[in-house]
Structure 1
Amino acid sequence: MKCTRMDQLLSLVICTLLLLLKAEGVAVPITYVQSAVAKGAVCLDGSPPAYHFDKGVGAGIDNWIVHFEGGGWCNNVSTCLDRRDTRLGSSKKMDKQLSFSGFFSNGKKFNPDFYDWNRIKVRYCDGASFTGDVEAVDPATNLHFRGARIFVAVIEDLLAKGMKNAKNAILSGCSAGGLTSILQCDRFKTLLPAAAKVKCVSDAGYFINVKAVSGAQHIEQFYSQVVQTHGSAKNLPQSCTSRLSPGLCFFPQNVAAQIKTPIFFVNAAYDSWQIKNILAPGVADPHGTWRNCKLDINNCSPNQLTTMQGFRTQFLQAISGLSNSPSKGLFIDGCYAHCQTGMQETWMRSDSPVLANTTIAKAVGDWYYDRKTFHQIDCPYPCNPTCHNRVFDQNKLPEF
């Protein structure tokens, strides 16, 4: 029986749809770490921590990616109460399934170096990048500040599920989770088998200490309050806290150079979250003159773009020196973006952002497997035509 042209077209459409679905990733169910509750390793509301686990296959069975979710921070009882009854403070409110794509895709075509690894996404529910540990719980609020305990409890749970046999392992994270992968990088290595090849990847986690457009040090004050509220000081790198106040040790620029475990930084030089919340937060822009610019970089005035170029200059100063280390990798594109590893379109696709003709996926893979070092910093906006610049819904412009 011969196929008609219509049959062939239909087959082509079906194959294309299947490829697109695979690129978008599979839905992975949630796992609650019930054993963590007895250790006091719980979310803000006292519920157990949780993660999503897509198991490795074949040659990847002993290789692990443990990725920590982002979602900002809470800096006092009031803001933590605002989070407590949401997915960012309670595992009871989390989606029961998450889609895995990009860095977490199980498709060789879309994630050639890591598709067959064990891939875990740890949900974020503590509000301090998994650094807090306060024993006391106020019965009036029932707030638990236990992020550091969650970090250890989750790793211990995964070790019991096979990670104790890991040959390769990556600690990664996006945004506030990207900060986790920086602050906890060396600790992660100590928890893994001594023979394992362990590295870290921070995606959009390099938050810098700069003044807002008003001239105020909003982010420095905010981070100091986060660390104080959550009792984070004892869980921050001692290489920093021995020199600086704990609040300053929440900034990667003060800890990154001392990290001993190899680490790769993926970041936009015009990080959209930092532009919105550090450079031009609502409190520093009472008349809303930055609002349209923050929604879409194409809306920015010449003066605003000049200010943003100044932010880039400060960002590059904050990462200066890291490119001198062969164990550290840099992919700093000139895009208006935030979190680029977990989406197929920015991780690896025909139109993905590239530096030196290299996608993020290839840069990270080459670096992890020691095929090639990668220290690339993009030219200033708007020079890179491969950027996927973020455009935000005017009704959804979250600020901390």
Structure 2
Amino acid sequence: MKSAVWMVLFMSAVFSSFQKINSQLVVNLTVIHNATSLGAVCLDGSPPGYHLHRGFGSGAQNWILQMEGGAWCNDELSCYLRSKTAYGSSLYMGSWNFSGILSNDPNMNPDFYNWNRVFLRYCDGASFAGNSEYRNGTKRLYFRGLRIWDAIVHDLFPEGLQHAEKALLSGCSAGGLATFLHCDNFSQLFPETTIVKCMSDAGFFLDVKDKSGYNNIRHFFRSLVKFQGVEQSLSEKCVNSHHDPYLCFFPQHALKHIRIPYFVLNSAYDVTQVDNIFVPLSSDPCGHWKNCKLNYTMCTPNEINILQGYRSQMLKALRSTKFLENGGGMFINSCFSHCQSEEQYSWFAPLSPKVHNKTIAVAVGDWYFGREVSVEVDCPYPCNPTCLKPNSLIQIVDLQGRAQNLNVTEKNPHKKNSCSH
């Protein structure tokens, strides 16, 4: 009887917490109409936009710029289709729910709740980095991510960004990758007295071969950089150190040349990378990995062993950059997830994932404010009991994170399309 009463009380407390998590702040879209005169436009030619919620109190002079994610487009068809969505046109954009690192609730975002928080909308398809356009008859596509980035930043300057005492450039997924491309030039906007740091959430996309030995993601990023004119946004030092400039679109190559303190937040088994890069359809034409990709608790021992190899490659790539020697930090957990800073349940909540008893929010705060060294690397799956499980209570109340289809799969010319085991 006592255990039943305890369970009822526990469930009531948990659902109460979930209701609070769901009571998010809704922020309207600010459209930069005059950006069109500068050629800073979305794929369809519409003006770019962002969402700003003002800081207050001790955070009134501090700023977070959070770059939206949403995969990429690397050819006419994918970019045209994208231009008919909010990921390619401000005509389809609306208000945005601020949660996680964007929350204004100190109980949900203890270190950054009263900062000026900005969410940059992503409508170019190349991580805010392209600078060209495409014409084919009457069809016209604008690849102006670099100009969009400049237009948003300069629109925010008279709003108070120019007087920032502290600033954090962050982003999720393709937006997380964008922070690697813009971190140093972002820091150059401010005087030396401004504390500027950068963070990527689920943006550390690996330069890695898929499980069949073919490097799909290299082919995808090469075509993306060429098609959208991204090369001018890449680090000059990085480009000079590689025979192919497009390699500097990969975070593990770009990070070696970033001089600003950097924090890498990533799952060691990032579901978007596993599903689309490490085990894409082209490497599994018969669908042997289908059950594992739908529900990781159904992975076979051999599949888990292969995924452990992916984790090892990620940790090796991170260590090779030596970014920790420059005031860097990281939180690499063993949860099957993607984008953890914008979702309240994973950022800071009663059942948030932890590494060494730290939530992501605490780890990031410790790093940014220099409270202590923040290098948290989880043990290999399935050791962490705080990771959310499939069909868990949190998923039942529809708080599951976004998983984005990258569409990076290309036909492997070296592999026969055979369904033999």
TM-score, length of structure 2 as denominator length: 0.87
CA contact under 8 A between 1:206 and 1:252: conserved in structure 2?
Answer: yes
What aligned pairs does 1:352-367 form with structure 2 within 5 A after superposition? 352-367=352-367
Q: Offset of 1:77 from its aligned partner?
A: 1.3
For 1:154 and 1:390, locate their aligned partners in 2 and report how far apart those are by CA, in whole Å.
Answer: 38
The one-letter amino acid paired with 1:293 is C
Cα 1:397–1:161, aligned 2, differ >3 Å: closer, same or farther?
Answer: closer
Per-residue deviation, residues 275-308 of structure 1 (Å, max 9, x unmatched): 0110111222222222221121112122211111
The one-letter amino acid paired with 1:294 is K
Q: 1:398 aligns with which of 379, 383, 405?
A: 405
The one-letter amino acid paired with 2:108 is F
Q: Offset of 1:250 from its aligned partner?
A: 0.8
CA contact under 8 A between 2:133 and 2:228: conserved in structure 1?
Answer: no
Q: Offset of 1:399 from its aligned partner?
A: 4.4
The one-letter amino acid paired with 1:398 is N
Cα 1:143–1:259, aligned 2, differ >3 Å: closer, same or farther?
Answer: same
Per-residue deviation, residues 363-387 of structure 1 (Å, max 9, x unmatched): 1111111111211211100001111
Match of 1:83 in 2: 82
The one-letter amino acid paired with 2:315 is L
For 1:325 and 1:397, locate their aligned partners in 2 and report how far apart those are by CA, in whole Å.
Answer: 32
Secondary structure of 2:307's counterpart equals: helix
For 1:359 and 1:98, locate their aligned partners in 2 and report how far apart those are by CA, in whole Å.
Answer: 24
What aligned pairs does 1:297-308 form with structure 2 within 5 A after superposition? 297-308=296-307
Q: Which 10-residue stretch deviates more, 17-26 or 192-201?
A: 17-26
Match of 1:6 in 2: none
CA contact under 8 A between 2:134 and 2:140: conserved in structure 1?
Answer: no
CA contact under 8 A between 2:21 and 2:345: conserved in structure 1?
Answer: no
2:295 equivalent to 1:296: yes
Secondary structure of 2:241's counterpart equals: coil
CA contact under 8 A between 1:66 and 1:120: conserved in structure 2?
Answer: yes
The one-letter amino acid paired with 2:119 is K
The one-letter amino acid paired with 1:311 is Y
Q: Offset of 1:44 from its aligned partner?
A: 0.5
The one-letter amino acid paired with 1:270 is Y
For 2:291 and 2:86, locate their aligned partners in 1 and report how far apart those are by CA, in whole Å.
Answer: 28
Match of 2:346 in 1: 346
Cα 1:91–1:314, aligned 2, differ >3 Å: closer, same or farther?
Answer: same
- The percentage of counterpart residues that share the same residue type is 44
Q: 1:219 aligns with which of 217, 220, 224?
A: 217
Match of 2:386 in 1: 386
The one-letter amino acid paired with 1:158 is L
State the aligned residue count: 384
Match of 1:332 in 2: 332
Q: Offset of 1:139 from its aligned partner?
A: 5.4
Q: Offset of 1:346 from its aligned partner?
A: 0.7
For 2:19 and 2:293, locate their aligned partners in 1 and report how far apart those are by CA, in whole Å.
Answer: 30
Match of 1:186 in 2: 184
For 1:98 and 1:137, locate their aligned partners in 2 and report how far apart those are by CA, in whole Å.
Answer: 32
Q: Offset of 1:136 from its aligned partner?
A: 6.0
Match of 2:26 in 1: 27
The one-letter amino acid paired with 1:55 is R
2:278 equivalent to 1:279: yes
CA contact under 8 A between 1:164 and 1:193: conserved in structure 2?
Answer: no
CA contact under 8 A between 2:204 and 2:266: conserved in structure 1?
Answer: yes
For 1:174 and 1:227, locate their aligned partners in 2 and report how far apart those are by CA, in whole Å.
Answer: 20
Q: Offset of 1:199 from its aligned partner?
A: 0.6
What aligned pairs does 1:130-149 form with structure 2 within 5 A after superposition? 130-134=128-132, 137-138=135-136, 140-149=138-147
2:64 equivalent to 1:65: yes
Match of 1:9 in 2: none
Q: Offset of 1:326 from its aligned partner?
A: 4.6
Q: Offset of 1:243 from its aligned partner?
A: 1.4
2:115 equivalent to 1:114: no
Q: Which 10-residue stretch deviates more, 223-232 or 185-194?
A: 185-194
Task: Please tell me the root mean square deviation across aligned C-alpha atoms, in Å.
Answer: 2.1
Secondary structure of 1:157's counterpart equals: helix
Cα 1:145–1:389, aligned 2, differ >3 Å: closer, same or farther?
Answer: farther
Per-residue deviation, residues 81-123 of structure 1 (Å, max 9, x unmatched): 12111111111112x1111111111001111110000111111
Cα 1:295–1:24, aligned 2, differ >3 Å: closer, same or farther?
Answer: farther
For 1:153 and 1:120, locate their aligned partners in 2 and report how far apart those are by CA, in whole Å.
Answer: 14
CA contact under 8 A between 2:206 and 2:314: conserved in structure 1?
Answer: yes
Match of 2:47 in 1: 48
Cα 1:118–1:308, aligned 2, differ >3 Å: closer, same or farther?
Answer: same
CA contact under 8 A between 1:88 and 1:125: conserved in structure 2?
Answer: yes
Secondary structure of 2:140's counterpart equals: coil
Match of 2:151 in 1: 153
CA contact under 8 A between 2:332 and 2:376: conserved in structure 1?
Answer: yes
CA contact under 8 A between 1:201 and 1:263: conserved in structure 2?
Answer: yes
CA contact under 8 A between 2:71 and 2:174: conserved in structure 1?
Answer: yes
CA contact under 8 A between 1:173 and 1:180: conserved in structure 2?
Answer: yes
For 2:205 and 2:67, locate their aligned partners in 1 and report how far apart those are by CA, in whole Å.
Answer: 16
The one-letter amino acid paired with 2:383 is C
The one-letter amino acid paired with 1:350 is P
CA contact under 8 A between 2:72 and 2:406: conserved in structure 1?
Answer: no
CA contact under 8 A between 2:28 and 2:51: conserved in structure 1?
Answer: yes
CA contact under 8 A between 2:260 and 2:326: conserved in structure 1?
Answer: no
Per-residue deviation, residues 52-94 of structure 1 (Å, max 9, x unmatched): 1111111111111000000101111121112111111111112
Q: Which 10-residue stretch deviates more, 355-364 or 173-182?
A: 355-364
Q: Which 10-residue stretch deviates more, 196-205 or 282-291?
A: 282-291
For 1:230 and 1:326, locate their aligned partners in 2 and report how far apart those are by CA, in whole Å.
Answer: 32
Per-residue deviation, residues 225-282 of structure 1 (Å, max 9, x unmatched): 0100011111111121111112111111111122101111100000110001101112
Cα 1:262–1:201, aligned 2, differ >3 Å: closer, same or farther?
Answer: same
For 2:34 and 2:230, locate their aligned partners in 1 and report how far apart those are by CA, in whole Å.
Answer: 23
For 1:332 and 1:273, locate their aligned partners in 2 and report how far apart those are by CA, in whole Å.
Answer: 15
For 2:210 and 2:163, locate their aligned partners in 1 and report how far apart those are by CA, in whole Å.
Answer: 47
Match of 1:10 in 2: none
